[in-house]
Amino acid sequence: MKLVTEFRNSDMAKGLTAQIKNRSKRNARLMEFCGGHTVAIFRYGIRQFLPDTINMLSGPGCPICVTANADIDKAIALAQIPQIIITTFGDMMRVPGSYSTLQEAKANGSDVRIVYSTMDALKIAEDNPRKHVVFLGIGFETTAPTIAASILQAEENKLKNYHVLSLHKVCPPVIRALLNSGEVNLNGLICPGHVSAITGSHVWEFIARDYGIPCVISGFEPLDILQSIAMLVAQIEKGEAGVEIAYKRGVRSEGNLYALKLMEQVFEPSAAEWRGMGRIAGSGLKIGNNYSQFDAESMFKIKIKPPLEPKGCLCGDILRGVKTPADCKLFRTVCSPQSPVGPCMVSAEGTCSAYYQYGDK
């Protein structure tokens, strides 16, 4: 695991910290878009290294957290159809929808199974030819290609009982919406590492060009993040704004062309509903017409009651970076990982969960 431990070296972390402290003169508000970065920042106590000039904000880059209640309600409604087996990544089980959770649906007799990859879901479809297997497709550009691949595989295997509820989202439009809202006054953005491994770095160029905000694509180890902050500080102090890659071992500027081709083949852009940010044009991926037999939404009539938002929950504001968990009256009082009110407390990558588990700093 040399590749991992080398990126957790304490002497090098101290060196990067000194570099950040020496260079950082102006006050700067930096956002880490990705929930994976939020967790790493808290897990390694990275905020403790930073000078007072730097203020870190957590962004909306947690796929579970941004999934709208109505979409979770749809998944639960599907689970209640007797001939359906729901397959999902584990995090989704405990996420509260408007009225219930998948975990509760399972306890009430729905067949809901946790899988670790879409290929496991395909196997379940093969093994249960009399049932319909629906995979809950939640995730960003990182996850979407593997789900596209599963649909192509199902087509090749002539598997007619495999379907996907596509709730996928793509990241650049939401960042644009966030910046257009004028709510968060950012001086730098830590761009997602694994999303960029698929999309390439060029998709972030509009941020530097149109909004004058420096961008650095970061990996997920503590040294990656410290280096990215150092690179952002360097750009800020020089008054420059460009897109740089600190995560060169994972990201190429053109991205993963094969994965992009798979996505393009199976999905088409659509509007999508984001928790806290509403409907954003072009920010979703729906299953294209050629593959509609694999689209759970077009195959099954899903009826849901009007969605409800939990009273007092600030997940939406927290996802936009305008509030922190400390501002939420429910945090640590009513809302905890044991009994989460909002999704940011459930997901392993949620901001509230990171604050709760690792402490406020």
Partner 1 sequence: MGDKILMAHGSGGKLTHELIENNFLKLFHNSVLTKLDDSAVFDLCGKLAFTTDSYVVSPLFFPGGDAGKLAVCGTVNDLSMCGANPLYLSLAFIIEEGFAKVDLEKIVDSIHLAAMEANVEIVTGDTKVVNRGCADGLFINTSGIGLIPEGIDISGSNAKPGDKVIVSGTIGDHGIAVLSKREGLIFSTRLESDCAPLNGLASEMLKASRNVHCMRDPTRGGLATTLNELAQQSSVTICIEEDKIPVREEVFGACEMLGLEPWYIANEGKLIAIIPAEYASEILKAMRNHKYGKNAAIIGEVQAGYPGRVVMKTVLGTTRIMDMLVGDPLPRIC
Give me the residues that bind partner 1 (CB under 8 A), please.
1, 4, 8, 10, 13-14, 36, 42-46, 48-49, 63-64, 89-94, 114-116, 120, 138-140, 142-143, 194, 222, 337-338, 347-349, 356-359
Nearest distance from C-beta of residue 85 to partner 1, angstroms: 13
Residue number, 115 or 207, with CB nearest to partner 1? 115
Residue number, 24 or 118, with CB nearest to partner 1? 118
In whole angstroms, give the CA distance from residue 341 to residue 313: 7
Residue number, 122 or 208, with CB nearest to partner 1? 122
Residue number, 289 or 338, with CB nearest to partner 1? 338
Residue number, 188 or 222, with CB nearest to partner 1? 222
Using alpha carbons, select from 297, 27, 271, 26 the residue that is nearest to residue 164. Answer: 297
Nearest distance from C-beta of residue 185 to partner 1, angstroms: 27
Nearest distance from C-beta of residue 238 to partner 1, angstroms: 27
Longest Cα–Cα distance in the chain: 65
In whole angstroms, give the CA distance from residue 202 to residue 118: 28
Residue number, 212 or 359, with CB nearest to partner 1? 359
Nearest distance from C-beta of residue 211 to partner 1, angstroms: 26
Residue number, 64 or 159, with CB nearest to partner 1? 64
Burial-class residue 269 by CB neighbours within 10 Å (0-12, 13-18, 19+). Answer: middle
> HEC string of the chain?
CHHHHHHHCHHHHHHHHHHHHHHCCCCEEEEEEEHHHHHHHHHCCHHHHCCCCEEEEEEEECHHHHECHHHHHHHHHHHCCCCEEEEECHHHHHCCCCCCCHHHHHHCCCEEEECCCHHHHHHHHHHCCCCEEEEEECCCCCCHHHHHHHHHHHHHCCCCCEEEEECEECHHHHHHHHHHHCCCCCCEEEECHHHHHHHCCHHHHHHHHHHCCCEEECCCCHHHHHHHHHHHHHHHHHCCCCEEECCCCCCCCCCCHHHHHHHHHHEEEEEEEECCCEEEEEEEEEECHHHHHHEHHHHCCCCCCCCCCCCCCCHHHHHCCCCCHHHCCCECCCECCCCCCCHHHCCCCCHHHHHHHHCCC
Residue 353: other Cβ atoms inside 10 A? 25
Nearest distance from C-beta of residue 61 to partner 1, angstroms: 10
Nearest distance from C-beta of residue 117 to partner 1, angstroms: 8
Residue number, 116 or 182, with CB nearest to partner 1? 116
Residue number, 92 or 231, with CB nearest to partner 1? 92
In whole angstroms, give the CA distance from residue 72 to residue 92: 9
Nearest distance from C-beta of residue 79 to partner 1, angstroms: 18
Nearest distance from C-beta of residue 130 to partner 1, angstroms: 18
Residue number, 46 or 75, with CB nearest to partner 1? 46
Nearest distance from C-beta of residue 269 to partner 1, angstroms: 19
Nearest distance from C-beta of residue 82 to partner 1, angstroms: 18
